[in-house]
Structure 1
């Protein structure tokens, strides 16, 4: 279980960089950045398919469809909705909705018959979940105080819907992704990561052309105003933050109970905040420090709860 948590933290440390990339490419739309990133991720996966060909040959048509749905909707569409929500409704609203993901995943999976490996009593899980939610709230308390300023505008509510859609997708993704991996131990997480990437190549490529259709139609700069910078950042985002980050997440998902793996997404928030502070050369506020410690404490306590429950299940009567 410790190794699974380590993989999750490392994967989230790579995903945290994704929040910096839009700041480095302000002249590019969220859709262009998202589809550029996942097109590179898909092309890289297509190359890696050769090395995973024996395992990939075991996948059925249904498995490939599941890989596409998880890869495209759980990654590319999610990222577009999240970045659009941040731009229209602001970071506070998006952050508040994303903070609900660990609770949503636990509510949907910590029950008998939910295709999970370990089910723990809610009285033992309520404290760590409360610590995670309170930590996310305290860490963003200054931003949350600004939510009421623009709630009357149509733009705000459109952004709210985008952020809500992103939250829904990333409640669905870790659950279905973990369940598939736990039910298919013969397929390695690396092969499953590659299948997700390769299966969505046609869709991400078509979406990239669609969002930049005018440039393609009129022979403009299809890679934007700073093509070299854009390509280099997309390669980093697609291969390092994309494929490598997802591979680590899948390696975690194959080892942890579903209800616990969903809580690991809080580390993406932690790393994104750390990287943003470094990028902006700002010191963290005390509320952020307290919030991060509560987050870490909540996840560590959850880990102990699931580990103890797993030991009880494995002990003979």
Structure 2
């Protein structure tokens, strides 16, 4: 069930990489504000009937965690993703973000009763090899395709932000068992929407340029669509998965966003994958499969003594 939830979240999140291409005339900060303002409005409507009940279980330290999680996982992260897509393209951005499993798995291996890091080394080495493929492609990509090196820098910054979010959010969900994953998602939406309100004047006054009425209509539709599909539904599946899987496997589930993001990107660009993209794709898949295999063996060893005693 945890893996299915992770796959579902990845399929929905992968659509995020298409949004900057659909409204290229808008700046990354404007895309972020539009998406999360819609997310906040939807979350407010859904949580309003149970306002007192939900808020009674949230302490001050939980609100602080939600504030920083919203920045690292939503507001700042999406600005960096949109900037990376504008500069380096969908495929480059989605593949770079696919290497979150390395960082998250290393951090998760320090948890109590976690799979030993040395057992996960083959998985991490495969993922690192894929990262080399992407970095080399960014260096050799023709200049006519945009600013690949800047795209790589933005994508790496987004990688750091979301790694922080993935680890912190997973640990918060494990600690706050009295708050449902649905309510945690809505609370995140409330805080993120508040941040979007603060950034609204900056986003639409600091950037010059006029847009036609149809462009504004497309911007509103894309913002609302991404808010519902990725933020509301995708986050709900991810939060559910975070309570079902250990952190060392949670990181590996981020791969599904990469796979779907790359697939959508190639369909949008109407081209076949390049050799280095295929190599990275295969290496990352091998990384996740080997990680799952290690966890299955570890789980079998942990449950075997219990079965013997029962017999």
TM-score after normalising by structure 2: 0.84
Q: Report 1:146-157 matches (<5 A).
A: 146=140
CA distance in 1, matches of 2:84, 2:274: 25
Match of 2:26 among 25, 28, 34: 28
Corresponding residue for 1:172?
164
- What are structure 2's unaligned runs of at least 5 residues? none
Match of 1:122 among 117, 124, 128: 117
Give the stretch that moved more between structures: 195-204 or 290-299: 290-299
CA distance in 2, matches of 1:99, 1:48: 32
Q: Report 1:145-224 matches (<5 A).
A: 145-146=139-140, 162-213=154-205
1:237 aligns with 2:232: no
Cα deviation, residue 142, structure 1: 6.8
Give the stretch that moved more between structures: 52-61 or 198-207: 52-61
Q: Deviations over 1:170-215 (max 9, x none)?
A: 1211000001111222221111111101122221122122210268
> Is the CA contact 1:277–1:283 (under 8 Å) kept in the aligned structure 2?
yes
Corresponding residue for 1:143?
137
> Is the CA contact 2:21–2:86 (under 8 Å) kept in the aligned structure 1?
no
Q: Report 1:271-286 matches (<5 A).
A: 271-285=260-274
Corresponding residue for 2:78?
79
Corresponding residue for 1:258?
247
Corresponding residue for 1:45?
43
Cα deviation, residue 36, structure 1: 0.4
Corresponding residue for 1:267?
256
Q: CA RMSD in A?
A: 3.2
Corresponding residue for 2:107?
108
CA distance in 1, matches of 2:50, 2:166: 23
- Counterpart secondary structure, 1:20: helix
> Is the CA contact 2:88–2:150 (under 8 Å) kept in the aligned structure 1?
yes
CA distance in 2, matches of 1:287, 1:168: 23
Q: Deviations over 1:133-164 (max 9, x none)?
A: 334544x47723427989xxxx9887665444
> Is the CA contact 1:52–1:191 (under 8 Å) kept in the aligned structure 2?
no
In terms of fraction of residues, the more helix-rich structure is 2
> Is the CA contact 2:98–2:258 (under 8 Å) kept in the aligned structure 1?
no
Corresponding residue for 1:18?
16
- What are structure 1's unaligned runs of at least 5 residues? none
**Count of paired positions:** 303
Q: Deviations over 1:70-129 (max 9, x none)?
A: 123321111112332454577788567535422111222202xx4x5x411223211122
> Is the CA contact 1:277–1:284 (under 8 Å) kept in the aligned structure 2?
yes
- Counterpart secondary structure, 2:254: helix
> Is the CA contact 1:136–1:292 (under 8 Å) kept in the aligned structure 2?
no
TM-score after normalising by structure 1: 0.83
Q: Deviations over 1:246-282 (max 9, x none)?
A: 1111111111111221222222121111011112222
Q: Deviations over 1:209-260 (max 9, x none)?
A: 22102689xxx76x97612111111110111111111111111111111122
